[in-house]
Amino acid sequence: MRIGMLTGGGDCPGLNAVIRAVVRKGIQHYGDEFVGFMEGWRGVLDDVTMSLDLETTSGILHKGGTILRSSRTNVKKIPGGIEKCLEVIGKHKLDALIALGGDDTQSISLALSEQGVKVVGVPKTIDNDLSGTDACFGFDTAVTIATEAVDRLHSTAEAHNRVLVVEVMGRNAGWIAITSGIAGGADVILVPEIPIDIEEVCRLLKYRHDHGKKFSIVVAAEGAVFPEGEQKSHGTALDSFGHVRLSGIGQVLAEEIEQRTKYETRSVNLGHTQRGGTPTAYDRMLATRYGIAAIDLVHEGKFGRLVVLKGTGISDIPLADAIAKTRTVGEDLLAVMRGLEPPR
């Protein structure tokens, strides 16, 4: 078969591992040929490709980023965009297309699938917020990086008797914040799922202070919301999928905490370091399993579907189910977080 492949949206560690697995099994077991579209849907729109074979996908398993590059191009917003994609897919005589991406990327997979393109999706996002799957590769790497940062910040916070507010990514879901916060032993964790109660934050910090600890770590999700529903963003500009660039909550919280408690407070925004560099072994494994499952789905003729992790096994669901809603942190994990807090 002739199969196209692309990576869309924010990059994430493990993308190369998926590409490698798809190409290795496709060529060696099924005799497939591949066309790699560059920079997500932009590459399909503008017909910019690279060859994907055993040689071009060799030595990439452990590398972050994506050899196909990525972009947040929304072809649905471009007049004639979907039609142009259909034309390019037809020109390359593709029997199938494998799209690696989160909900935005998969919303285009779905639109093309509805136009008759044989698409299989692979879930990808460090935010871990795609519904229908228990895990996205990239998340474990992001959490590992954030946890290491929280570990490191303990010693400098302690040396200076400071509060350190660590801002982590995750958009409107608190998966990275709650996981790295619990794993890193943060004293306060703020997630978008629970509106910020600044008085409660200061109470927790004061309790710790009054019980002998003169430093504290706060982990805040970039999408944490104030009671009025306000999030902190970098400007008001929206990307092509209608998202604002969330950023700055850490600094706002640091100023508020210092003013209310009089404890010296600093903020650190981990930003894109969470998406950079080599994937963890867990993410390489999950990405490889997804890649093998995706190429198998293509050969089973099961299209318009997304490969997913359910428990410990890989299965697949309709693309539409994956983009239906954001998967946020559940009550079970929130209870773990609360269980570690001091009494009221």
List, by residue number, the catalytic residues: 127
| Interatomic CA distance for residues 132 and 35, integer angstroms | 28
Q: Helix and strand tally (H, E) in the chain?
A: 11, 13
Nearer to ligand F6P, 49 or 267 (CB): 267
| Interatomic CA distance for residues 102 and 322, integer angstroms | 9
Select from 3, 169, 201, 323 the one that contacts ligand F6P (CB under 6 A). Answer: 169
Strand partners, 7: 100
- Going 165 to 157 to 176 to 9, the CA torsion angle's sign is positive
Select from 38, 45, 126, 217 the one that contacts ligand F6P (CB under 6 A). Answer: 126
Tokens of 168: 């982590």
List binders of ligand F6P among 263-282 (CB under 6 A).
275
Least distance (Å) between residue 90 CB and ligand F6P: 31
Q: Which stretch binds ligand F6P (CB under 6 A): 24-32, 105-113, 123-131, 146-154?
A: 123-131
| Interatomic CA distance for residues 313 and 317, integer angstroms | 13
| Interatomic CA distance for residues 134 and 141, integer angstroms | 16
Least distance (Å) between residue 343 CB and ligand F6P: 33
Look at residues 74, 304, 73, 337 and name the one whose alpha carbon lies nearest to residue 194: 337
Nearer to ligand F6P, 275 or 284 (CB): 275
Nearer to ligand F6P, 127 or 296 (CB): 127
For position 147 contacting ligand F6P by CB under 6 A, the verdict is: no
For position 187 contacting ligand F6P by CB under 6 A, the verdict is: no
The three-state secondary structure class of 340 is coil
Is-contact 214 228, C-beta < 8 A? Answer: no
Q: Which stretch binds ligand F6P (CB under 6 A): 49-57, 120-128, 157-165, 316-324?
A: 120-128
Strand partners, 90: none
| Interatomic CA distance for residues 291 and 271, integer angstroms | 28
| Interatomic CA distance for residues 342 and 344, integer angstroms | 7
For position 322 contacting ligand F6P by CB under 6 A, the verdict is: no
| Interatomic CA distance for residues 81 and 75, integer angstroms | 5
Is-contact 17 61, C-beta < 8 A? Answer: yes
Residue nearest to ligand F6P (CB): 169
For position 70 contacting ligand F6P by CB under 6 A, the verdict is: no
Tokens of 194: 């629970």
Nearer to ligand F6P, 16 or 141 (CB): 141
For position 245 contacting ligand F6P by CB under 6 A, the verdict is: yes
Q: Which stretch binds ligand F6P (CB under 6 A): 20-28, 35-43, 163-171, 309-317?
A: 163-171
For position 125 contacting ligand F6P by CB under 6 A, the verdict is: yes
List binders of ligand F6P among 210-229 (CB under 6 A).
222
Q: How many CB atoms lie within 10 A of CB 178?
A: 25
Nearer to ligand F6P, 315 or 326 (CB): 326
For position 246 contacting ligand F6P by CB under 6 A, the verdict is: yes
Q: How many residues bind ligand F6P (CB under 6 A)?
A: 11
Nearer to ligand F6P, 221 or 297 (CB): 221
End-to-end CA distance of the chain: 63
For position 10 contacting ligand F6P by CB under 6 A, the verdict is: yes
Select from 170, 174, 279, 291 the one that contacts ligand F6P (CB under 6 A). Answer: 170
Contact residues for ligand F6P, defined by CB under 6 A: 10, 125-127, 169-171, 222, 245-246, 275
